[in-house]
Each structure stands twice: as structure tokens, then as C-alpha cells.
Amino acid sequence: MPRRPVHPSVTSSSVSRPGPTAPSRERPTDTGRARSGPRRHRRRLPAALVATAALVTAVLVGATVEPATAATTDVRTATAAQLYGAGQYRSSTSEAAKAATALQTSDPAGARAAAAIARYPVATWLGEWTTGTTLTRTIDTATAGAAAAGTTAVFVVYAIPDRDCGGYSAGGFDERTYDAWIDQVVARVSGTRSAVVVEPDALAMLSNAACSDSIDAQRYRILSRTVAAFTAAGVPSYLDGGNSNWVSPATMAARLQSAGVANARGFSTNVANYHPTNQEQAYAQRVSALTGGAHYVIDTSRNGQGWRGTWCNAPGAGLGTTPRVGTDGTALDALLWVKTPGASDGTCNGGPTAGKWYSAYAQALVANGSLGATASGTAMGTVDWATGGSGSVRVSGWAADPARTTATLTVRVSVDGARAAPAAADRPRQDVADAYGVGAAHGYDVTVPASAGVREVCVDTTTVAGVASRLGCESVRVSGRDPVVALERATVSAGGISVSGYAVDADDPAAALRTTLLVDGKAVRTVSADVARTGVAALDGLGTRHGFAAVVPAGAGKHTVCARAADVGGGADVTAPCRSVTVAASAPRAALDSVTSPRHRRVALRGWGFDRDAVGAAVTVVVSVAGRSPVRVSASAVRDDVDRSYGVGRSHGLSTVVAASSGTRSVCVRVVGLGAGGDRSLGCRSVRVR
């Protein structure tokens, strides 16, 4: 859940960072894909949110502010109230505040949304874009503002070597430069009321195949030095602990211990992600218990609607609980806004480059926001996966009531808002028991009817106390009786147009569909859709050998290419949306493999040639020996290798013998074109004729 372009160089109080890449994340089970987290009760933001700043001061829930500074407090034993005072520091020059000003004339709705976000605190991100005087000014501005307000400036250091392991947010310093840079950060925050989130994703991403095996030791070494330095300076630091749906608590606890969590204040969770607060806290409590009671903070900036099926500019996401100091007696120090709401995660779901302001998304976050206190009575659970079949949808996940862990909850699946029959979440899920300590009998696996097309599938449940919770939603493609066919690619190649796609009929998932390829409305080739394909949502549950790939003939000019799949059940043939391709004029494609003299006064030539403008015809090859009258031969011999390489048919081989006088002779060859591209010379060869 993620990768990102390099962050822009900024001097403001916040820098965006997208969340990590979904397929690489380790989770309590081996499904290898992102899971939907529960969604808290949805509360749309009233207009008053935009109109008033009164809510800004409500960052504490029943907490008593204890005046203290980091310089006089042991950061490992202090109370959360001592460390955070009146809460997280809010900058008047945050990215949201800047966007609100910049968009006033061009995008009034976007400006209002940005202003609403700007009313709340957000962390200040530090990386290779903040060095030298920029680093000093950024830190000093935030710490001075926090001191004046009695709040705590929250920073994020994000410049570890090989950051993001080559993903969208790739970058960072080398180790020596990083250590020196951290020393500068420590020197500026020492003696101030500050807190630092240390290197989001750095530990969780050790599960990512993109990260080299050698990186583990280096990261443990760097992170241990970093948190020890902050602690020595009297500044609480939090190693990043991933999130509840990435790495198991036991694995994360082991990594945190290797990274020096015993010398830090604790760890952070859910940075730049969407998982519900109660689910994150259940995960964090498990990790805390395994790390000697380490404290933790949770990023709630965008989790108001829970997990939305993707980490990257997730559709339907909303602002989460506003920053506040923990008062529930657990190891929770604070709910913070670490990620900058409104800043893009990257070029996905319509977003601009990572870190750029995404106005439409900011407006959606505000509209979908749920800023109140955490609803501790909601259910926990996920939609692990949902797949469409022939007239049906199958959905699987888990649901549990944290207040009544032995109770069996009922889940309700809806398709495009229409509810199906309820089902019990009572299947064994040992991974859930291991991760959350709620017992194993909380899984569900339900199949419900659905009409053909792309459908939104949602799962809801209700706790024993009657609190409704949405576990998540997924978009799936449901097949009907007609086949599903897609022409995914059509590009110019040496032999014409290379095409590929897939075709499947849910009436007979094992069948390799006969697929007709058409050029300008004329059927030119029929192929069998039996090539292995993976990662195609339309093929979920129907097998993987439903792809096709071929070359279709096409001469110079603009062409329309289509694919039509033959139905094998009671439906009709289906033609995929067509693609337009322009083929440039070109000379024949040809090669002269050999020129030899096999016997007295004879020269043998072997090679091949074809013209893309007419691959169904044999090209003429003109052979001239020692400047004498040329001999014209047809390149029509069988050459299976040419067909395998170019998809133009077998009959394009050159195999001929011509007369020549004895001695050393020059043999010149030219291939006559059949279209507008002209001829192609294959040059001359010198051969000693017997």
C-alpha cells in the first residue's frame, strides 16, 4: 500500500508522502494483496467546519495540560500530557493554508476545502529537500510557533538510504550524510517541545521483495543511532511500525527491537494510510506488549472512512479524528495528523505527482470526513478480497467485536447498494487471532448473486451493542452469459500490427475461446485465447490461461483493429472496444543468410524477405553476379523461423542457385518492395565461384 516521485523541495511546515506499495506488504495471511479495513461511522462535515475555527482548539479530549518541556522530562517515562501539552502544533503556513490562498480565485470550492484542512495541525516532513539554512529555518519556525502556543511540533525525518526501495518515493541520503543530517536535526530540536516520527515504512518495507537482503542490518544500525540521539536530546521519537494490515505484530515487534525501540519513546502506525483507529490501536497494543510497553502514536489524517481498497489517493476516503492527546490509560500517546491531507500520493486515481496539492481529492476528504472522537464501540474487520464470477460475487474477510471477542457477528453484503442475505462471521482465521487477540472464529466467505458489469461490493456488520460498522468496499467485474473480451494492446510491428488481450466465458472457464481479429472490419486471423495471463481482475476465479497474442497484417495507413470472442454458452459473441493504429510506409524486411558456391559455376543464396504492405504475397529478389544481367527469383520457400519471429506466415524464404563464371565474383541482392516503402538493398557479397 504505494511509490512516488521525489518530493518537492519545500520550506513550509508540511511535505506530502504517499503510503507504501500494496503488493509488497506482508500481512497476517499470505493473500499477497491489500485488505480493506473497517470503516467508521460516516459523518459528513457540516458547512460550519469551513466557516469556523472553533473546532481547532478541541484537540484534547478530557486531557489536563501539564506544563513541561522536553529538556526537563525523561521522554521514555513522561506522560503523554507532559510531552504534548496542548496538543500537536498547527502552522499557519501549512501546505493546506498555502493552497487555500492560491485557489481562492481559480477554484473557490477547492480553496474552501483547503482552508478546512488548514484549521488542523499536521506534521512537518524533513528530507533531502530540507538541508542547510532551509532545515534550520523550517525547524526553528515550527518549534518557536509551538512554544508560543503551548503545543508540540511534530516532525517526520524521511531521508534514510535507499528510501522506498526504488518506489515512487525513492531517494534519501547515503549513510554518512544521513548521520550528519540527523545530527543537525537533533541539534535544532534539542530543548524544544518536539516529537519525531522516524522514517515511515523503513521497517515494514523489509518485507518488500524490492528491498535487498543486505539493507536490514544497515537500517537497524541507522535507526538505532537516530532514536538514541533524539532521546539523549530530550525529544520523544517514534520508529515507524507500519500498520495493522501490513506486517504481523510479532514480526514488527522483532524489527522494532532490532532498531532500538527500547531507546526511543515508541513507535507510530498508519502513517499515510487509512485503517480505522480502533483497529490500529488493537494492533499497536499487541506490538506494545511485545516491546516492553513501548508507547505509540496513530496517524488519523485520512482514516475517517477506513480502508478503501488502495493506498494511493483512495476514492471515498475522508478526514479522520482530529489530533488529540491520548487519555485512555493505554500506551497511546496521541492521535496525530502525520500525512498532509490533500497532498497527492502520486499519479494514481487522477492525482498529480506525489506531494503536489490535489484539490479534487482534498474536497472529497473534507466531504467524507469524520472528525469526532474515536468510536471505540465499532467492530473490527476487513474485506480481504472480492471476486466476480458468472452472475455472482464471492467476498471473504473477517469481523469481530473487540468488546465481545467470543461473539459471532453477522455480516451483510451489498452489491451496488442492494443487500443480500446475511451470513455469520464464524469461520476459522488463526491469523486474525494471532494478530489481534480476538480469537480465531471470525472469518466469513460469502457468495451472492449479481448482474453482469462492474459492481461495488460492500460489507457491513453490527456489534453486539448495536453499533454499525462498514468493513470495506471493493469494485469487481461480474460476468454474465456472454464472454468477456479485451483488446489491451495494438502496436506497429515489423510484420504488421502486434495485438494482445484476453477472452473468457464464465459459462465454461476452462475453454480457450476462439477469438477473431479484425482489421478495418475484415476478419484476418483467428487465434485461441490460451496464453497464461495474471493480474487481470476480469479473470478472477476463472483461471489464467485466457490471453491471446498475434500479429495481424496491415500495410501503410491508418487502421482499426478489433477482437471478437466466440461465445460457448447460451450468449452471443462479443467484440471488444477497437483500437486505432497508424502504420508507416516501409521497405521490405529481409536478410541474406548466406552466399556460397556449392558446385562448378554455381552460386547458392539463402535468406528471407517480406513486405509489411502485403505479407500474403512473396517478394521478388533481384540477384546480380559480377554486374551481368540480373536474375529475378521469388522469396516463397518455407521458413518457419521467420513466421515465429514476425507472425507473417511461413512462405517468405529465399533459396536459389544462379549461374556464374568461375573466379572471385561480386553477388549483389535487392528486394523489390510491394508497397509505398520502395525496395531494400541487401548489399553485395564477394564469393569465390568454383
* Residues marked as catalytic: 164, 201, 345
Q: Which residue has the cell 541474406?
A: 592
Segments of 247-317 assigned E as strands: 266-269, 295-299
* DSSP state for residue 344 in the 8-state scheme: -
First to last CA, the chain: 71
- Give, for 504, the enclosing helix (H) or strand (E): strand 496-504
In this structure, what C-alpha cell is assigned to residue 227?
Answer: 532514536
Greatest pairwise CA separation for the chain in angstroms? 109
* DSSP state for residue 303 in the 8-state scheme: B
Among candidates 35, 41, 62, 54, which has minimal Cα distance to 311? 35
Rounded to an integer, what distance in angstroms lies between the CA atom of residue 657 and that of residue 9?
70
Task: Tell me which amino acid residue 669 is.
Answer: V
Rounded to an integer, what distance in angstroms lies between the CA atom of residue 19 and that of residue 242?
10
C-alpha triplet 674, 677, 679: angle, nearest 5°: 65
**At residue 360, what are phi and psi to the nearest 5 degrees?**
-60, -40
Rounded to an integer, what distance in angstroms lies between the CA atom of residue 16 and that of residue 662?
79
Composition of the chain by helix, strand, coil, percent to 5? 20, 30, 45
3-state secondary structure of 28: coil
**Radius of gyration, alpha carbons of the chain:** 32
Rounded to an integer, what distance in angstroms lies between the CA atom of residue 385 and that of residue 309?
9
Rounded to an integer, what distance in angstroms lies between the CA atom of residue 374 and that of residue 320?
9
- Give, for 683, the enclosing helix (H) or strand (E): strand 680-689
Asked if residue 442 lies in contact with residue 399, where contact means CB atoms within 8 angstroms, the answer is yes
Among candidates 451, 445, 444, which has minimal Cα distance to 389? 451
Rounded to an integer, what distance in angstroms lies between the CA atom of residue 536 and that of residue 525?
24
Asked if residue 120 lies in contact with residue 49, where contact means CB atoms within 8 angstroms, the answer is no
